């Protein structure tokens, strides 16, 4: 049985990915905040393992990977958002967004790669955003951090391809998760109207794409950024 480690697996897209991979027969290890009851509940419901870790801290990332054991797939779903004008952001706020969204991916990939290289197999899926490709007003830090994830994905695909490791990215559009909590119902309705398919996305929409990318059906796909946005970016 293959093992997948999913960061940010407590809720939203990460929890959706966990459910999809468990359904597909993977051994699933979820990572989330230490105080995440949702993470533990999700893990219990699907027969997965929950391991707490703060991806801002290298020591905790190392502990996470040591506890997870040998993995065949890494899916980097952990992320934070910040809403507001760039001119009003503090250095600490900017750094916090990058520490999770970009540096957390870097730390996890760095920890996962040696074992995959030894086996000459494995796959990594990162989670960017439509804003990482197109930018969003009042979300400069988030957009920049997610754009960096796309660049990292492409570089790693070239770096790791000779070792038989595939690296791909998904770029969700407007997905109905807790990240939308600051938005009003009217805001959500307008975003749905701006989406050609006429609705917001769900975690399951993204999860099915990730399940495909980590499967053998995607054996010749690497270095790609797959938009899962209902046509929002068109």
- Give the pLDDT confidence score for residue 180 in this predicted structure: 83
The whole-model pTM stands at 0.95
Q: Burial letters for 49-77: b for 16+ Cβ neighbours within 10 Å, e otherwise? A: bbbbbbbbeeebbeebbeebeebbbbbbb
Active-site residue list: 142
- Give the pLDDT confidence score for residue 26 in this predicted structure: 98
- Give the residue ranges of the chain where pLDDT is below 50: none
Q: How far apart are the C-alpha atoms of 142 and 3, rounded to whole Å?
A: 30
* Sheet strand arrangement including 165-172: 49-52, 27-32, 3-7, 73-76, 122-127, 165-172, 225-228
- Give the pLDDT confidence score for residue 4 in this predicted structure: 98
């Amino acid at each position: 049985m293959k093992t997948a480690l999913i960061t940010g697996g407590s809720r939203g897209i990460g929890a959706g990915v966990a459910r999809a991979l468990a359904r597909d027969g993977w051994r699933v290890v979820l990572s989330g905040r230490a105080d995440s009851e949702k993470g533990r509940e999700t893990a219990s419901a699907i027969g997965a393992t929950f391991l707490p870790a703060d991806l801002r801290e290298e020591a905790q990332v190392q502990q996470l990977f040591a506890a997870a054991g040998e993995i065949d797939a890494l899916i980097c779903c952990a992320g934070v958002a910040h809403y507001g004008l760039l001119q009003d952001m503090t250095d600490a706020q900017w750094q916090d967004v990058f520490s999770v969204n970009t540096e957390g991916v870097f730390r996890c990939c760095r920890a996962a790669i040696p074992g995959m290289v030894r086996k000459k197999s494995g796959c990594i899926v990162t989670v960017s955003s439509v804003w990482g490709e197109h930018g969003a007003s009042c979300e400069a830090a988030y957009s920049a951090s997610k754009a960096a994830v796309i660049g990292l994905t492409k570089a790693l695909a070239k770096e790791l391809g000779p070792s038989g490791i595939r690296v791909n990215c998904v770029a969700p559009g407007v997905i109905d998760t807790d990240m939308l909590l600051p938005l009003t119902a009217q805001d959500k309705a307008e975003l749905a109207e701006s989406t050609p398919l006429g609705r917001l996305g769900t975690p399951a929409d993204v999860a099915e794409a990730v399940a495909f990318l980590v499967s053998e059906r995607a054996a010749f796909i690497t270095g790609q950024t797959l938009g899962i946005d209902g046509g929002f970016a068109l």
